Structure 1
């Protein structure tokens, strides 16, 4: 059982262009978690507790998510800008090299950082990641529409978040609690700066360059995918496997897009086996 000492501490790290909100918990070698849509509270709440008994866990909201806000007027909001901003976050909290875990779009940003600054990442775990030049599902394409997308974000509700999460889970009973959904929905509705950043990231990020540069990844990589993923089909795994040198891959039966919460036992078995031995070298 995870003890009270592993409860995350919420903190802020400022860089030249971004004010990052992140959670920190545990002690040991550093592992940085980069979440998909909604921020770490929707994506990695349970994983923080799982890993904090052995690692210092940093669960960081990337630009456009959670409590993080873009400060710089010239910030590009595209995949390169978000990935490099995460490198700036590492500098701000004093981390030169880390193991990194990314889910969905967070996996795409972590992957892009591994391509652009390979010396920063010692081990990379990707959970149903973005990073390929394929169309998004309609729910996210909707946000790119100039007027409709803005209205959809402005009137985000716990019910609309619940719809999107149901699609992300093969086991709906393992979804985040309603109070978390209400909190996230309220932040999107009532904080114009969050809606602005979220929409700009959604409208700016494309993954063509990330897919083109897959061969540049130099660290060990583990990719896990659920066979019941309704956001990114597991068949996409082959496109990563054929391009990333030495990548390890596993498809988890019975898991949806949020595979680490859908099937935590399977996910953590692979994750821990991949992370544990090499962490002594960090």
Structure 2
């Protein structure tokens, strides 16, 4: 027997849903949180450089001397993520750590910029052109790895070596932590409602060694991610990254490839490391025990020697 709810209950439910949707829309599109008042100590430690392109005014550092390596950080992260990696590689390379559109202190100037795989790959290309690099090795973490992978697939003549660190690229399980940001209205509202504490919890979930996530580490990321335009860009990326595209072109990667993954990755299962290696010609996968999603920060003593040796071959 079909049960009919009283009209007054249905009307009340509809009114409540309408009120909730209106509140979500207000939080998503009308209300803007205030940026965090924080002066980055890391910016005082490094030699920031900027280069102007039609895409963005890129913030980056260039350290060391030798064959070029470009480091691309993950989503909701910036070049601070590579603070241990840069000195490890700089003994034998010129190391470019760059903030991509949506990250850190790079400012997008293209009003029509698309936060999708092609858009981010084009941004990598614009940066390489601007700093005078015809070819370089690329190392990308998480979303930055997906952007780097797509760049290597579509512009293979510009990549010497490729390192993917806990990087999505398979038509496989997605990170559940970012799925909410793909829901229209709800995603924008969730980004605006992200507080420093929630940002900190998310960052800790990417580490096995939680003690490494210090207040300074949290504030160095939160300082810029708290800006409304960065939150908006993060949501656009969550919506725009289609890993069916990277999966379909894995056979187009010609650069020697190393895949590093944390065995304790709580964002993406470590089985995806071998899944990528099986589909990229000549690729090698290394899964590091006791390490989380931010493998290069969580386990630098284990990850960086592998990264350094591979790039020096």
> Do the structures match in fold with TM over 0.5?
yes
Q: Secondary structure at the match of 1:62?
A: coil
CA contact (8 A) 1:63 1:201 kept: no
Consecutive unaligned residues in structure 1, runs of 5 or more: 1-6, 278-282
For 1:280, the equivalent position in structure 2 comes to none
For 2:255, the equivalent position in structure 1 comes to 219
For 1:114, the equivalent position in structure 2 comes to 152
For 2:50, the equivalent position in structure 1 comes to 12
CA displacement 1:236-257 (0-9 Å, x = unmatched): 1232122100011111111111
2:228 paired with 1:188: no
- Pairwise CA RMSD of aligned residues? 1.7
2:291 paired with 1:263: no
Runs of 4+ in 1 over 3 A off after TM superposition: none
CA displacement 1:143-188 (0-9 Å, x = unmatched): 223333223322433311221122111111122x313422432323
Compute the displacement of 1:113 (Å).
0.4
CA contact (8 A) 2:181 2:190 kept: yes
Compute the displacement of 1:104 (Å).
0.7
For residues 242 and 159 of structure 2, the distance between their equivalents in structure 1, rounded to whole angstroms, comes to 22
Compute the displacement of 1:25 (Å).
1.9
Q: Which one is further off, 107-116 or 166-175?
A: 166-175
For residues 255 and 76 of structure 1, the distance between their equivalents in structure 2, rounded to whole angstroms, comes to 33
For 2:162, the equivalent position in structure 1 comes to 124
For 1:40, the equivalent position in structure 2 comes to 78
Q: Which one of the candidate residues 171, 191, 195 is aligned to 1:133?
A: 171
CA contact (8 A) 2:60 2:79 kept: no
Quick check: which has more Rg, 1 or 2? 2
Alignment length, in residue pairs? 269
For residues 99 and 131 of structure 1, the distance between their equivalents in structure 2, rounded to whole angstroms, comes to 18
Compute the displacement of 1:42 (Å).
4.7
Consecutive unaligned residues in structure 2, runs of 5 or more: 1-44
For residues 238 and 52 of structure 1, the distance between their equivalents in structure 2, rounded to whole angstroms, comes to 29
For 1:250, the equivalent position in structure 2 comes to 286
CA contact (8 A) 1:34 1:100 kept: yes
For 2:89, the equivalent position in structure 1 comes to 51
1:234–1:40 Cα change, 3 Å: same
Q: Secondary structure at the match of 1:199?
A: helix
Q: Secondary structure at the match of 1:156?
A: coil
For residues 237 and 252 of structure 1, the distance between their equivalents in structure 2, rounded to whole angstroms, comes to 11
2:200 paired with 1:162: yes
CA displacement 1:50-84 (0-9 Å, x = unmatched): 22232211111122221223222222211111012
2:83 paired with 1:74: no
CA contact (8 A) 2:176 2:267 kept: no
For residues 223 and 270 of structure 2, the distance between their equivalents in structure 1, rounded to whole angstroms, comes to 33
Higher relative contact order (CA 8 A, sep 6+): 2
Compute the displacement of 1:272 (Å).
1.6
Q: Which one is further off, 212-221 or 198-207?
A: 198-207
